[in-house]
Amino acid sequence: MSCDNRANILHHALRLFAARGYDAVGVQEIVEAAGVTKPTLYHYFGSKRGLLDALLTGYFEPLHRLIWPAAEYRGDLPLTLTQIAAAYFRFARENPAFYRMQLSMYFAPPESDSFQAVIRLREKQHHLLENLFLCAAEQHGNMKGRQQRYAITFQGMIDTYIGLSLNGYTTLNNETLYQAIHQFMHGIFS
């Protein structure tokens, strides 16, 4: 039963945070939705921030396990970028509430709890992408010294497509994937 309480709290917190934002949701609302008491939430997570940290870690770890092997550069940049974007798209399709929540937190005010919680996990992904472009620059001289900008731009493009999909403006399918990578490649090789 205790594992069920923990999972139930996480489930309802994700649903509420994704719908209205972390700051707009109180502990009382979470425990009422989950059908537990405040002491139960505090037993598992210590605080609302502890709940958020557990929620973020629980989703970012599987995402990182998808991105890590996809981001290994093997001499074919278009293929590597396609694999990375495909992994993000698949994860976002399978976890739309989480992806919406973490995107909103990433664009929250820098001093907010939600931004502080999500930034360290997003930076981990950014470093993977930056390293990819650093490795690719050895093969593509015009890319030298631009790895940080390329990583920022590539992550931003992926997040934009996912955000548009979450709001019903596009579909994360193979055609969208191809167009996104094609457009990005034209930009970095020009």
Q: How far apart are CA 55 and CA 78, in angstroms?
A: 33
Q: Is residue 4 part of a domain?
A: no
Q: What are the distances in angstroms from CA 166 to CA 53, 79, 92, 143, 163?
A: 23, 25, 9, 32, 5
Helix axis angle, 27-34 relative to 2-20, nearest 10°?
A: 130
Q: Give the per-residue pLDDT at 1.
A: 45
Q: What is the pTM of this model?
A: 0.91
What is the rounded average pLDDT of the residues 133-159? Answer: 88
In which domain, by residue range, is 169 found?
A: 49-188
| DSSP summary character for residue 142 | G
Percent of the chain residues past pLDDT 90, beyond the cut? 87
> Whose CA is closest to 94, among 4, 174, 9, 172?
172
Q: Is residue 152 part of a domain?
A: yes
Residue 120 burial by Cβ neighbours in a 10 Å radius (0-12, 13-18, 19+)? exposed
Q: Give the pair of three-digit tokens for residue 134.
A: 């650093």
Q: Give the per-residue pLDDT at 147.
A: 86
Q: Is residue 23 part of a domain?
A: no
Which of helix, strand or coil describes residue 46? coil
Q: Is the pLDDT of residue 86 over 70?
A: yes
* Minimum mean pLDDT range among 15-24, 139-148, 156-165, 171-180: 139-148
Q: Give the per-residue pLDDT at 3.
A: 63
Q: Give the per-residue pLDDT at 143.
A: 73
Which of helix, strand or coil describes residue 76? coil
- In this structure, are residues 137 and 143 in contact, taking their beta carbons and an 8 Å threshold? yes
Counted domains in the chain: 1
Q: Is residue 89 part of a domain?
A: yes
Q: Give the per-residue pLDDT at 25.
A: 97
Q: Is the pLDDT of residue 189 over 70?
A: no
Q: Is residue 137 part of a domain?
A: yes
Mean pLDDT of the chain: 93
Q: Is residue 59 part of a domain?
A: yes
What is the rounded average pLDDT of the residues 76-91? Answer: 96
> Whose CA is closest to 49, among 18, 21, 19, 27?
27
Residue range 24-57, pLDDT digits in tens: 999 999 999 999 999 999 999 999 999 999 999 9
Q: Give 34-100 as a DSSP string.
A: HT--HHHHHHHHSSHHHHHHHHHHHHHHHHHHHHHHHT---S-HHHHHHHHHHHHHHHHHH-HHHHH
